[in-house]
């Protein structure tokens, strides 16, 4: 049988290749893998200093961007260079890890000096802003594809996983999810470029800022976390899918819709972009109610707005993972909207909101 989702495909063909994990390690299934490093080195009890006894863990992640699928083939190369690294650093941020280094695997149809100069400039800008050093890669000829592998570090025991939320925790999101999907709508001519929010939305789409400082500041505060790449509702289910006793209740009235509307997005469009649009690279996280002040302090320190948009609740008997409390107080199930390249009935085109037209 042909696997019908990305996760089914990975489970069936690749999950068996994961070695047994040591305590504190994370393999396939989170934003980044977390590894004791070296993995097969001296047993830790034989090391002397406490820094050596408890060395930081390695966080490692990789993401591919394919021309015509993940970006318009004629997108500004400078923006592409920025974004290719930013989306990887976002996965590190989602673990609470600090970026250290990255590898760049570049497949190019031709060596165009003007294009390469701009691409390198965008890459360099993101790398220096977030302190990641290019340490290797691969260059080959073929259809334009950019693959980056990012390496980061996080103190042992302090990484923030996806599957560790608790009932009664608050659900929080950083920034204003939906902006990237609105930026794409402008790029496609579906929304006028003259709207007051258009420039900001396009910037959110083409030059996302990985929330590295916020991710680090949330260590010891957030109980679970991931970054938003495939749409808020779809990614939110990843916080509870391996926790059969948990569900998420979103509060409609608390969704940060007003800036999207102030930017000129029609209400219905803004709502769909916020809940289902991809490519935002904001952090979605849970934290105990007692940590509300600590979350606010972390957000202030990182200079990023955060919004308390829901609650972790017991999974209803009917089994829904995601529900929404409407402004009139009624609660209804919310079906995840978003993207999976291998789901039955999914459009053949990847992430439709960012595919080329």
Strand partners, 247: 313
For 105, list phi and psi in degrees, rounded to 5. Answer: -105, 115
Residue with tokens 């948009």: 309
Do residues 351 and 277 lie in contact, with contact meaning Cβ atoms separated by under 8 Å?
Answer: no
Residue of the chain from 36, 57, 63, 282 that contacts ligand ADP (CB under 6 A): 63
* 14 binding ligand ADP? (CB under 6 A): yes
By beta-carbon proximity to ligand ADP, the closer residue of 62 and 294 is 62
The CA distance from 49 to 135, in Å, is 29
By beta-carbon proximity to ligand ADP, the closer residue of 148 and 249 is 148
Residue with tokens 């334009």: 144
Pick from 173, 171, 277, 180: nearest CA to 231: 277
Stretch that binds ligand ADP, among 24-32, 41-49, 206-214, 331-339 (CB under 6 A): 24-32
The CA distance from 75 to 279, in Å, is 15
> How many positions of this chain bind ligand ADP (CB under 6 A)?
9
The CA distance from 175 to 351, in Å, is 21
Q: Following DSSP, what letter does each residue of 139-178 receive, concatenated?
A: EEESS-EEEEEEEEEE-TT----SS---TT-EEEEES-TT
The least CB distance from residue 150 to Mg ion, in Å, is 11
The least CB distance from residue 61 to Mg ion, in Å, is 8
* 91 binding Mg ion? (CB under 5 A): yes
Interface with ligand ADP in residues 270-309 (CB under 6 A) = none
Residue partners of 276: CB distance under 8 A and separation at least 6: 181, 231, 232, 233, 234, 337, 338
The least CB distance from residue 26 to ligand ADP, in Å, is 8
Residue of the chain from 78, 91, 169, 206 that contacts ligand ADP (CB under 6 A): 91
By beta-carbon proximity to ligand ADP, the closer residue of 32 and 248 is 32
User: Which listed option, Mg ion, ligand ADP, none, makes contact with residue 170 (CB within 5 to 8 Å by class)?
Assistant: none
User: Which listed option, Mg ion, ligand ADP, none, makes contact with residue 30 (CB within 5 to 8 Å by class)?
Assistant: ligand ADP
> How many positions of this chain bind Mg ion (CB under 5 A)?
3
Stretch that binds ligand ADP, among 25-33, 42-50, 131-139, 173-181 (CB under 6 A): 25-33
By beta-carbon proximity to ligand ADP, the closer residue of 165 and 249 is 165
The least CB distance from residue 94 to ligand ADP, in Å, is 7
In the complex, which residue's CB is closest to ligand ADP?
14
Residue of the chain from 24, 28, 44, 357 that contacts ligand ADP (CB under 6 A): 28
By beta-carbon proximity to Mg ion, the closer residue of 227 and 279 is 227
Residue partners of 51: CB distance under 8 A and separation at least 6: none
Interface with ligand ADP in residues 29-58 (CB under 6 A) = 29-31
Do residues 261 and 270 lie in contact, with contact meaning Cβ atoms separated by under 8 Å?
Answer: yes
The CA distance from 246 to 240, in Å, is 6
By beta-carbon proximity to Mg ion, the closer residue of 275 and 323 is 275
Which x/- pattern, by CB under 5 A, does the window 214-233 give for Mg ion? -------------x------
Strand partners, 153: 58, 98
* 242 binding ligand ADP? (CB under 6 A): no
By beta-carbon proximity to ligand ADP, the closer residue of 98 and 234 is 234
List strand residue ranges (DSSP E) for the chain, in order. 33-35, 57-66, 98-108, 133-141, 145-154, 170-174, 224-227, 246-251, 283-287, 306-314, 322-325, 331-333
By beta-carbon proximity to ligand ADP, the closer residue of 6 and 76 is 6
Binding interface with Mg ion (CB under 5 A): 31, 91, 227
Binding interface with ligand ADP (CB under 6 A): 10, 14, 28-31, 63, 91, 229
């Amino acid at each position: 049988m042909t696997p019908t989702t990305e996760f089914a495909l990975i489970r069936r063909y690749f999950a068996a290749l994961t070695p047994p994990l040591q305590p504190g390690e994370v393999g396939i299934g989170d934003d980044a893998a977390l590894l004791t490093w070296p993995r097969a080195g001296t047993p830790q009890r034989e090391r002397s200093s406490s820094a050596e006894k408890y060395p930081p863990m390695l966080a490692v992640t990789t993401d591919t961007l394919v021309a015509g699928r993940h970006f318009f083939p004629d997108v500004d190369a400078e923006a592409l260079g920025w974004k290719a690294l930013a989306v990887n650093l976002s996965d590190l941020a989602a673990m609470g890890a600090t970026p250290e280094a990255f590898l760049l695997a570049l497949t190019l149809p031709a060596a165009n000096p003007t294009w390469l100069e701009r691409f390198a400039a965008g890459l360099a800008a993101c790398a220096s802003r977030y302190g990641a050093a290019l340490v290797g890669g691969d260059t080959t000829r073929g259809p334009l594809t950019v693959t980056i592998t990012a390496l980061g570090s996080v103190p042992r025991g302090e990484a923030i996983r996806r599957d560790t939320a608790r009932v009664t925790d608050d659900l929080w999101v950083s920034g204003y999810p939906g902006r990237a999907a609105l930026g794409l709508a402008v790029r496609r001519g579906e929304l006028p470029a003259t709207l007051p929010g258009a420039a900001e939305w396009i910037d959110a789409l083409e030059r996302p800022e990985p929330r590295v400082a916020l991710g680090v500041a949330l260590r010891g505060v957030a109980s679970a976390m991931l970054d938003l790449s495939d749409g808020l509702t779809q990614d939110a289910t990843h916080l509870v899918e391996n926790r059969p006793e948990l569900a998420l209740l979103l509060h409609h009235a608390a969704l940060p819709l007003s800036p999207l509307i102030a930017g000129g997005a029609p209400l219905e469009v803004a709502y769909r972009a916020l809940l289902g649009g991809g490519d935002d690279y904001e952090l979605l996280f849970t934290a105990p109610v007692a940590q509300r002040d600590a979350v606010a302090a972390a957000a202030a320190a990182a200079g990023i707005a955060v919004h308390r948009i829901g609650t972790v609740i017991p999974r209803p008997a009917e089994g829904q993972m995601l529900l929404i409390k409407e402004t009139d107080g009624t609660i209804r199930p919310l079906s995840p909207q978003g993207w999976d390249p291998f789901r039955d009935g999914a459009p053949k085109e990847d992430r439709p909101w960012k595919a080329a037209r």
